[in-house]
Amino acid sequence: MLRLEGLRAGYGPVTVLQDVSLEVNAGEVVTIVGGNGAGKTTTLRAICGLIKPQGGRITVDGRDTSRLAPPEIVDLGITMIPEGRQLFPFMTVRENLMLGGFKPAARARIPERLEEVLTLFPRVRERMTQLAGSLSGGEQQMVAIARGMMANPRLLMFDEPSLGLAPLIVKQVFQIIDTVVASGTTVLIVEQNIVHTLQIATRGYVLENGRVAMSGPGPELLRDPHVKRAYLGV
């Protein structure tokens, strides 16, 4: 479905991603592992069209999407749940969710989709009329995920969904992700908490200094001595 070939990208004159190649096929759960500043977020931003590649190719179903703007990527069925939640703070939770279904294809089905999504998030349902900015961190993350799902994407990308959350909430977030995966949505996930994501990942990529240093089935990477040493501290 999604393929990056020799992607080079960065900010202005700075190149962060030197050479990133990876692929995500329909129905897979793919994860990107890497230390702080390795370029994980940058990779997701390039896929979304938020930054333009300096070189290499990004293709979706064989079509080059390197030059497309973010709304066009959303129209192709690719949605990112950004790092740090990034809600619309002075709008209600309901308005945030409706914006998740802004693209024309999703707009027609907002009421049904809202119902489907809210069954996964009972806590969010209780907060529908509250301003998003006044929610707790865990609630905000739930809204951010629910908002992303409102677009009914084929590929849902998570950037650090468990960042800054209490262990109990982290568990809930991973349960939600498992549900998303079980529903057949393809998932590309970036997570510090690599034990859980590598266990469920069809394939993982280890990103170091803007390059893919290693890749393989998730559970296999989890047993790899280098991964263990560098990312699990054992």
Partner 1 sequence: MDILIQLIANGVLLGGVFALISIGLTLIFGIVRVVNFAHGELLMVGLYATWLLSAKLGIHPYLAAVPLAIAFFFLGALMQRAIIQPLMNADPHIQIFATVGIGTALANGALMIFSADLRSVDVPWARQATDLFGLASVSRGNLVAFAVSGIATTGLILFLRRTHLGRAIRAVAQNRYAAPLMGIDVNRIYAITFGIGAGCVGLAAAVLAPLYPAFPTVGSFFVLTAFVVVVLGGMGSLEGAVIGALIIGLVESLAGYYVAPDLKEVVYFLIFLGILIVRPAGLFGVRGAE
Q: If binding means CB under 6 A, how many residues of this protein chain bind ligand ATP?
A: 11
Binding of ligand ATP by 13 (CB under 6 A)? no
Neighbouring-strand partners of residue 30 = 188, 203
Contacts with partner 1, 18-57, as mask; x by CB under 8 A = ------------------------------xxx-------
Q: Which window, 5-13, 76-84, 110-118, 226-234, contacts Mg ion (CB under 5 A)?
A: 76-84
Q: Measured from the CB atom, is 16 or 106 closer to ligand ATP? A: 16
Q: Measured from the CB atom, is 121 or 158 closer to Mg ion? A: 158
Q: Measured from the CB atom, is 156 or 198 closer to partner 1? A: 156
Minimum Å gap between C-beta 39 and ligand ATP is 4
Of 4, 20, 33, 39, the one binding ligand ATP by CB under 6 A: 39
Q: Measured from the CB atom, is 52 or 171 closer to partner 1? A: 52
Question: Can you give the binding site for ligand ATP, defined by CB under 6 A?
Answer: 11, 14, 16, 34, 36-42
